[in-house]
Amino acid sequence: MRLSLVLLFLSAAPLRAQTPETGPRQFTLSNGMTLIVQPDRRAPTVAHMLWVRVGAMDEVDGTTGVAHVLEHMMFKGTPSLKPGEFSRRVAAIGGRENAFTSRDATAYHQQVPAEHLEAVMRLEADRFENNRWDDEEFRREIEVIKEERRQRVEESPRARMFEQMTATIYTAAPYRRPVIGWMSDLEAMTPDDVRAFHRRWYVPGNAAVVIAGDVDVDRVRTMAEAIYGRIPARPLPVRKPREEPVQQGPKQVEYRAASEQAVVALAWQVPRMKDPSSRDPDTQDALALTVLAALLDGYQGSRLERRLVQGEGRDGQRVADGASASYGLMGRGPQLFMMTAVPAKGVTPDAAANALKDELARIAREGVGDAELRRVLTQWTASEIYKLDSVFNQARELGQYWINDMPINSSAVLLQRLREVTPDQVQSVARRHFSADRLTTGVLVPDPARRNGSARKPAAAQPSRH
């Protein structure tokens, strides 16, 4: 994740100390469903989220995109709700709602006045257990999803390049599949594919209800048991390990498309964090890699901005119109450290790629100063902590930790551990984790000859907001 998102999950840098009364509480309902409650009484509003630990990584070849398709179909009714009625009822009580699918999870969320929490809990429990729709409803919605793929991926040369690059990076890990699915799989998908995915994965033991806002913990627990706890427990499917083999040599993707500018991306497979409180080597390195990404691209005027975009230290010669660095930190699957650049006019993709590598090599060779490191950490806190005033962000953070099987106090531990990262640790990961053997390079090559073939006729269906 980009570092602006990393800090979204660091809720325990609160400006006021948490107590047992204000900190999050976690419970297990009688059917195995998890309940997490975070009281925040500063405003009479509440965020309600239902997280299901299933995403694109749980799909199989031939039905890629089915987790995202099911997310759409969850808005299409139950025996007691007509298609679209869920959204209309949330709007009628002054709330807003939506959903999202990622590689790791699917989440449904509403934010409503606190007095209407029970109403949205009943709506969400109903569709979790009783999602129903006819085949014609599916046929209409799959056309919407196919159009969404066209607009987000197929009409974007950059998106297509990154999709191909991701499919090249991973050999066995399911992260190689696009969340929205391959178009051929969407075209071949059937209503029963989606219904079977719902039956398999939408079971109480694979879901968590996360509530943040102006609530009483005991009252919420009682309501959750009555509303969600009555859903019959069912066995959770067995997940088989799909470990990514160690990359033993460089990979490269050259994607030619009708694009105005080239793009170069470098990705290395690196360790991920499994528990921020752990002192194991992978977690130690993951924390240092997070700080390394921030030093390169975590604040205004960062190293990549100054040296590649502004030309500082290069006799004023700009290498890139834009440059970035990001690191995944945590997830259910393997994580990447990625650097990208849009070469400036007259600069080749190879030169831009070498400039990115030079910045890593500079840190590996010279290290970083303690003052620079502290400045980055201070800027993080100052620029990101205000997001925690949002009850939605608090709920999203807690759900992310649950998805990754981490304790609900992980944000406090994570921020403290990040503050403990030393310049020597940053220099060490820069030296050890960026070999050519672990590198995948992706290059978007502008090819004017392909421009005429990129157009298509407009489709009748339009993407929905879900």
Residues 376, 297 within the same domain: yes
Q: Is residue 4 part of a domain?
A: no
Q: Is residue 369 part of a domain?
A: yes
Q: Is residue 299 part of a domain?
A: yes
Q: Is residue 273 part of a domain?
A: yes
User: Residue 92: which domain range?
Assistant: 18-227
Residues 322, 219 within the same domain: no
Q: Which amino acid is at 425?
A: Q
In terms of Cα–Cα distance, which of 47, 429, 144, 78 is closest to 268?
Answer: 429
Residues 259, 335 within the same domain: yes
- Looking at residue 380, its pLDDT comes to 67
- Looking at residue 11, its pLDDT comes to 36
What's the average pLDDT block by block, 10 residues per block, for the chain (466 residues)? 39 42 90 97 96 97 97 97 96 97 98 98 98 97 98 96 97 96 98 98 98 97 98 94 93 95 97 93 96 89 92 87 95 97 96 97 96 83 69 95 94 88 96 97 92 47 46
129 is catalytic: no
SS3 of residue 260 by DSSP: coil
Domain count, the chain: 2
Residues 120, 212 within the same domain: yes
Q: Is residue 460 part of a domain?
A: no
The active-site residue out of 71, 97, 359, 397 is 71
Q: Is residue 42 part of a domain?
A: yes
Q: Is residue 409 part of a domain?
A: yes
Residues 212, 286 within the same domain: no
Only one residue has tokens 């606190």, namely 114
Residues 185, 304 within the same domain: no
User: Contact 74/5 with Cβ under 8 angstroms?
Assistant: no
CA distance 30 to 406: 21
Please name the residues in contact with 300: beta carbons below 8 A apart, sequence gap of 6 or more: none
Q: How far is CA 267 from the centre of its chain?
A: 17
- Looking at residue 384, its pLDDT comes to 56
Residues 84, 212 within the same domain: yes
Residues 297, 218 within the same domain: no
Residues 171, 288 within the same domain: no
- Looking at residue 10, its pLDDT comes to 38
CA–CA distance from 348 to each of 185, 308, 342, 442 (Å)?
36, 13, 10, 14
Residues 260, 223 within the same domain: no
Residues 216, 266 within the same domain: no
Question: Domain of 142: which CATH number?
Answer: 3.30.830.10
pTM to 2 decimals? 0.91
Q: Is residue 139 part of a domain?
A: yes
Residues 140, 279 within the same domain: no
